[in-house]
Amino acid sequence: MAKIDDQHYINLVLKGDTNAFAALVDRYKDMVYTLSLRMIRNREEAEELSQDTFIKVYRSLGKFKGESKFSTWLYKVAYNTCLDCLKKNKRKQPVIAIDEYTEQQVEALHHAFDAIEGKERKQMLQDCLHLLPGEDGFLLTLYYFEEQSVHEISKIIGITSNHVKIKLFRSRKKLAAVLKVQLEPEIITYYERERR
């Protein structure tokens, strides 16, 4: 059975069928929560911000023009809701040094990471993304798990596509730094030797 597109539900809501919004919430609630958790790093707050996001989206659904995918617009609302929370609470994001990582070292980390079994690798990646500063985890989640294009991400966070590419590059280097701490040093050394 083909998946009903988002616009169908949006049209129903705009015609007065408020129950149709539940289908959109069900479709996107997990990712909105995940993205909120990546930025806020607190489960209870991420749940509240996810709810706030859907309330904002519901109230302004009439403003959605369809110029981008509904998911892009929804993630933009989630991103801005999280940013507002971070600014309001003036939280400091952890700083991860990335200057000392060469491209060869980053590649060696990825090869070492590939050697880990699938389920364990996925859990380790989730754990490492949680250790990144909020926006970095948010960007990498959008790009790799939601498979949003650079262009879509630029719409979500309100910067140029080139700036998104730079941010993704830096976020990957930060992820490599976190992975290096998490992975066994022997595995990394082995793969660095193999690549020479």
* Tokens matching residue 169: 């590059």
Residues 6 or more apart whose Cβ sits within 8 Å of residue 169: none
* Domain assignments of the chain as residue spans, ordered by start: 6-89, 103-195
Task: State in words which class domain 6-89 has.
Answer: mainly alpha
- Model confidence pLDDT, tens digit, residues 114-142: 555 566 666 777 777 888 877 888 998 88
The residue whose two tokens read 């009439």 is 62
What stretches in the chain show pLDDT beneath 70? 1-2, 91-122, 183-196
**Fold held by 103-195:** Arc Repressor Mutant, subunit A (1.10.10)
Q: What is the DSSP string of 141-168?
A: IIIIIS---HHHHHHHHTS-HHHHHHHH
Residues 6 or more apart whose Cβ sits within 8 Å of residue 168: 139, 140, 143, 150, 153
- Model confidence pLDDT, tens digit, residues 79-93: 999 999 988 877 555
